[in-house]
Structure 1
Amino acid sequence: MGFFDLKAVCGVCENTVGMNRYKVRKSNAWVCPSCLKKAGGMTKVNISKVTIEELKSIIAAKEQLQHERENMDPMSTAEGMYQYCLDNKFGSGFNDKWGVKHFSVIESKLMKDEKVLMTFIGLHNYVSTTKHDNNYAYAITNKRILFAQKTITGEKFKAVNFDHLNDISFKKGMVFGVLTIDTLNEIFNVALDKYSAEAINNNIHQVLDEVRNVSKQPQVITSTVSAADELKKFKELLDMGVLTEDEFNAKKKQLLGI
């Protein structure tokens, strides 16, 4: 079928397409603008170097990633953790950009099957209004308490397992409310917004009580597609430029259970 034929069939969706179409030379076929856009567009996909089957695989992989994002627990992402703080008035940090950056450190340190239950932002190692370690992101998970801070030069991170936690107490001051996290090895004072500090403290204790009361569920082992095969597929998409490095690394962490 030639270029000047009025109609052709898209090799991906098999719908009839007019003159607005693109030649997939390796398959001697056509692809419609809609399917090309789903694959990433001309900037992501070099249609002179792919086949129709490869385009179908690219689109299927992108749709799978989109489906996983839509069904993902919002609290498993830095953006979701930060939004939880905003929605509950549990701190906002210096600005939105840095708030998400702090939580991105926590996101990268989450263990397999670790679920974030609540988050907040406060001034770490607070001594006075002029003496502290600036804003940190905090997360209470089903396994531990996490503290993190992103800086221009790097990042800081600490985790306290629940069996190393002595107590969490709260005191309201003139300017801030101060949360004291007492552990086996260290004591951390966190300055919080005066008007929401008490709510944060109450929520922390409620979450900790729920974690302690949850009985352990037996693990169910299910048969899945080989992680190596899945990883190979997404590595090919990375090499083709369809996936970004961040998207590939996130998928790699999920498949390997890191």
Structure 2
Amino acid sequence: MGFFSLKAECAVCGNEASLNRYQIANKQWMCSSCMKKIGFIKIGQAGKPITKMTPDDIRDLINGKVNNENELDSFKATKKIGKYIEFDDKQEKWLVLSAILGRRNNSKVYNYSDIVDFELLEDGESVASGGLGRALVGGALFGGAGAVVGAVTGKKKAKGVCTSLKLKITVNDFNNPAVYINFITASTKKNSFLYKTVMDDAQECLSTFQLICERQKEEKAEEVSHNTVSAADEIKKFKELLDAGILSQEEFDAKKKELLGL
């Protein structure tokens, strides 16, 4: 149906789409109501233009936005670093604040378990990094509070001015795997009070993310250990049934392989 046809059906919700509509994949239409539910910012984060998005893609975005709004409502910050990031340690969640006023606005809520690794970039050069199964490189980690002692020790450019300082967090999200926290976006002297203050915040972010990753690693190790012990107990029980003649050798071997994940 042509664009100027008065009637068209929204492929997302099934309602009638007026002339104020948007074309999506396969020459289908989306109504303005569905567009409002997504929001232009959300579309920009989808990784592809709206004309390439299927009705299912759009429904996923709408559901994701609703779920995120619910998570924002229940998010209770237990730690905040500057105007950049908040952590809800009780629910093991975190979010990046708006770069303009340091507010939540449409911030996406992530779980601690979403974190893969992180890297501090100064003028495009990596100066510190860490993550799951990796030690914190470029900063010294001390204490449970997440304090970092000492300056970043990674390679730096010799110039006395920084034009860009940002933290890149890689998360377990195929469509949007990188989350950025921008600390510096304009020319700033490295001997200035602003640079030192911002660097302190960046270092605290590094330290906090490293502590989270180490905690996640410990929890996974405990889970694996628990599962191993449970499997051993189950195998012992089936061995007793084998010895009693209740199970055949073939049945016991099959159960053993199942419990060991073989």
Superposition TM-score, scaled by structure 1 size:
0.34
Superposition TM-score, scaled by structure 2 size:
0.34
